Amino acid sequence: MVKGVMHPKEFGQLVAALRKEQFDPVIGKTWSQKKLAQSTQLSERVIANIEQGQKINLEVEILVRLANAFRLTTLERREFFAAATRLSDPEVALPTKAPVDVLNELLGVLRCLQQPAYIHDAFYDIIAANSLAISLHNPAGHAGASARPPTGNVNFLQQLFAPDSPLRLAMQANSQQLARRSLQQFRYMSLRYRHTTYFKTLFTKLCTYPEFVQLWRAGQEQPEDFYTQLKTYTYAHPQWGPLSYSVTITAAFTSSGNLHLAVLAPQTPATNTLFQQLRERISVTTLSLAHWPKTWLETLAAPPTCHEMVVWQ
């Protein structure tokens, strides 16, 4: 197999993973190939051939039918159609810079930013955060055993869904809005990796949080289109008072997957003043919180598991 090219069997595993994330309330089970065939108006043989990697040429109409059946959002559809080309990250991105060089470039920007900011990957593992973000929401302060997945990385969703998370406590009632939007972002970013062991290991850990399971179910049953990464939050912080800011996300594309630089941009004078006060109180430094790049993803496909059943038990 040519390096960087997603084998048809891997795309088939991705389709199977997305199928098993769907739930049939009538029979109380995840979708079978027969159910997916009915939803797409394709034959069971076509569905079986796709999942087994035996159908090499996938017509546009078939891909659109699959995306519609899975009820993918706008950004998820873009990832799904890109995965259908069977080109993985090393082939999609030109080797203009080595992945580590791209990361170092983002870290350089992170060190200079005067607003709270952090860098994360497609799994929402926090690669690095500046001290302003840590002081504001303490994303690294909950980096104990409950906040670290088996991979040993600090993950944003675990920081958000853990019951005693400082981030959750800081946002109080607004944590629900953050959780819903962050889960949409997670579904989009991780779509092309749903069949990998890394995703399933992380997903199984996240399913130990009841609210994550509830929101994941809601996203499957009543999907809300996710078409932009721009998010705005207004709430009263228990320590810092009223806050209003937008989270702007800049993606950097590399041969080892995408990196995302998230910056909290103040929307009110009071929030801007608070960020200035934070800069005066602490020095702007960065903290590394997760390993990257995950180069093993090129060859690490997950064995058959029942991770999808964790959500629907």
pLDDT tens column, 170-194:
777 677 888 888 999 999 999 999 9
193: CB partners within 8 A, 6+ apart:
122, 123, 199, 297
pLDDT class of 93 with cuts at 50, 70, 90: low
pLDDT of residue 298: 45
pLDDT class of 264 with cuts at 50, 70, 90: very high
> Above pLDDT 90, what percent of the chain?
52
Please tell me the CATH code under which domain 99-298 is placed.
3.30.450.180
Please tell me the CATH code under which domain 8-92 is placed.
1.10.260.40
pLDDT of residue 304: 39
Instruction: Give Cα 62 distance to the centre of its chain.
Output: 25
pLDDT of residue 229: 82
3-state secondary structure of 289: coil
Distances (CA, A) of 158 to 18, 52, 141, 263: 22, 33, 12, 20
- Kindly tell me if the per-residue pLDDT of 56 is higher than 90: no
pLDDT of residue 70: 96
pLDDT of residue 43: 95
- Kindly tell me if the per-residue pLDDT of 284 is higher than 90: no
More confident residue, 301 or 265: 265
pLDDT of residue 3: 36
Ramachandran region, residue 42 (left: φ > 0; alpha: ψ -120 to 50; beta: rest):
beta
Q: How far, in Å, CA of 300 to CA of 109, rounded?
A: 31
For residue 126, the tally of other CB atoms under 10 A from its CB is 24
Least confident among 35-49, 138-152, 209-223, 272-286: 138-152
Closest CA to 158 of 110, 89, 204: 204
User: For the chain, which residues make up each domain, given as ranges?
Assistant: 8-92, 99-298
pLDDT of residue 235: 86
Q: What is the mean pLDDT of the chain?
A: 84
The helix or strand, by DSSP H or E, that contains position 235, with its residue range, turns out to be strand 231-237
301: CB partners within 8 A, 6+ apart:
10, 13, 195, 196, 197
